Amino acid sequence: MEFDEIEKVWRSTHNAPSAADLGAQRAELTRRLQGRYRTFLLTIGAGVTALLICVGGFVRYVLQGGAFDPTQEWGAVLLFGLPLLAAGVLLHQFRRHRAQHASYEGSISANLRAGLDENRLARARMKIIGGLYAAMALIFPLIAYQLLAVGKARPSEISSMIALFAGLILVVSVCLAYHYHRHLLPKKRELEALLGSYESGPT
């Protein structure tokens, strides 16, 4: 059942939705929202796991005697620390959202309001991730300079690293902007219209 089909039922002046129809609509909205919750948790779980593996590998390298001078290579701490901090913020926001909408399955209006708030959270999430990548774009040249200063990389290697990282930032930025404007904003307007249709429709 698509959103426009649900809206047509609610806007109908001839037939009030039956209890069975309302139950089916509520179940469909719940299924969609739970799917978005699962997608977020799986995505951030995979990202944090990959990051922790990298941190673990770095710590193991240092503990096994690998050369690392925190006074000259502290940029590496920012490289690992900022994404972990951002992940903590995103998880905190998600937990607060779930606490505020703990009983969203109980009614269609509560479900739609939870969906709208989840959409707001997803848009805020895109901005946080975009800000993180902007910060990383500023930090990476510093890390490259530090690697060059301690003799761990040659100028040609630094140039390749910067070019690769710049390309990655560009691709990610385009993907984030596309998702924000082509998916999240239209979904926001769709949910707002659906909630308005439900609240103004026949009861």
Q: What pLDDT was estimated at residue 201?
A: 59
Q: What pLDDT was estimated at residue 145?
A: 86
Per-residue pLDDT of the chain (203 residues; tens, 9 = 90+): 455 555 555 555 445 666 777 788 888 889 999 999 999 999 999 999 999 999 999 889 888 887 888 888 888 888 889 999 999 999 999 999 999 999 888 888 899 999 999 999 999 999 999 999 889 888 888 888 888 888 887 888 888 888 888 888 889 889 999 999 999 999 999 889 888 877 775 44
Q: Are 97 and 118 in contact (CB under 8 A)?
A: yes
Q: What pLDDT was estimated at residue 2?
A: 53
Domain, as residue range, for 136 = 3-200
Q: What pLDDT was estimated at residue 137?
A: 85
Number of domains present in the structure of the chain: 1
Q: What pLDDT was estimated at residue 17?
A: 62
Report the alpha-carbon distance of residue 79 to residue 176 in Å, rounded.
20
Tens-place pLDDT, residues 123-169: 999 999 999 988 988 888 888 888 888 888 788 888 888 888 888 88
Q: What pLDDT was estimated at residue 203?
A: 42
Q: What pLDDT was estimated at residue 11?
A: 52
At 183, phi and psi to the nearest 5? -125, -55
At 103, phi and psi to the nearest 5? -110, 35
